[in-house]
Copies of this chain bind each other. A is one copy, B any other.
Amino acid sequence: MPHPSRPTIRDVAVAAGVSPTTVSHALNGKGVVRQETELRIREVAERIGYRPSAIARGLRSSRLGLIGLIMRPFSTLDSFVPEGVDYFLRIAGAASLTAMEHGYSLMMVDDPTKAGSPVSALAADVYIVTEPFEDDHVLTMLDRERLPFVTLGADPSRPDNFHSIDILAEAQTIEMLSHLTESGGRTLALVTGTDRTEWNFTAQRTYREWCERHGQAPLLMAIPEAEGEQAGDIALDHFFANDAPTRPDAIYCLTGRHASGVAAAAIARGISVPEQLLVAAGSGSVQNLTQRPTVTAFDLRPDLIAQRAVEYAICLVEGKPLPEAMQAPPAVLYVRESTLRSVN
């Protein structure tokens, strides 16, 4: 016994002179209980500080009111200073808040397939998996265990197998490439991360298609997300090497920190931004706002995304129908100094 145990429903029943059944009915408004009795029971419960045990209740209904949030990119990082800090914090925060509003709690789970992962990691009623990888074994396991889940972005290898929220990566890529062109970009490069996610894959595919339509040779590069700002030098070494056949005059980095690093590295090498090189990010991060020049970026609205994900997840638990198309809210493009050439 960890603590001098809290009062149970039986204690309330005794104190109110009724049966546990009646207490349960009274407090949950289930059966038919005389008004007067109900009031008395409520009063007694309040007085002795009774609170139903979520666990006991969960045993019957096999529901704890818990939503599990599995952030895939977390699992692959050693330290917890991941790429897209803001993005993930805002997801977690907003998900937590939305869950609360619907009477659920949020549990952060780190890859439940890992050996020695706690049983409680599988105790959630439903899961939200952000950015699943290709052939993601977490999805495979959840599916096998018959645990319901929604994903934020599809598993690239099984795009139609599960309930996934469309992250609109294709539309974003096109919008950004168009913006860069309109801003004076003639030769556009793309820098993605190396995680095998829909986010990276779709941007690459869309970019290639765009290049084909526009008769440009693709300048494409994948740099590990974890490189963060270091990616700037890596990308510039590559794109501006002496033997590079063509050099880009615009670089679109999917992650904010890559973009931040690219802008900084360019300036350090005497390449002016935005005059000689346009830089933009697919997912804004704090430093894109504070650095000079400020960097054009999408705000993916992680808080809205998380809110929707939680609402879909709850539909799944409660057996309500899911909407036909589960989509992220459209991303908002914030045009900043890094793609604003003073002269047109």
Whether a CB of chain B sits under 8 angstroms from the CB of A89 is yes
CA distance A147 to B54 in the complex (A): 14
Q: Considering the chains assembled together, what is the distance between the CA atoms of A52 and B120 in angstroms? A: 10
Alpha-carbon distance A81/B89, docked complex (angstroms): 8
Chain B residues positioned under 8 Å from A317 (CB to CB): 2
Contact between A93 and B107 (Cβ–Cβ < 8 Å)? no
Q: Known contacts A93-B74, A122-B54: does B85 contact A100 (CB below 8 Å)?
A: no
A10 at the interface (CB under 8 A from B): no
A18 CB–B CB distance under 8 Å: no
Contacts of A57 in B (CB 8 A): 119
A88 within 8 Å of B (CB atoms): yes
A residues apposed to B, CB below 8 Å? 1-6, 49, 51-59, 62-66, 74, 79-82, 85-86, 88-90, 92-94, 96-97, 99-100, 103-110, 114, 116-123, 125, 144-148, 229, 260, 264, 285-287, 290-292, 303, 317, 319
Instruction: Report, nearest first, the 10 A-B pairs whose CB atoms are least far apart.
Output: A80-B93, A54-B123, A65-B120, A89-B89, A54-B119, A3-B146, A287-B290, A105-B120, A54-B120, A96-B108
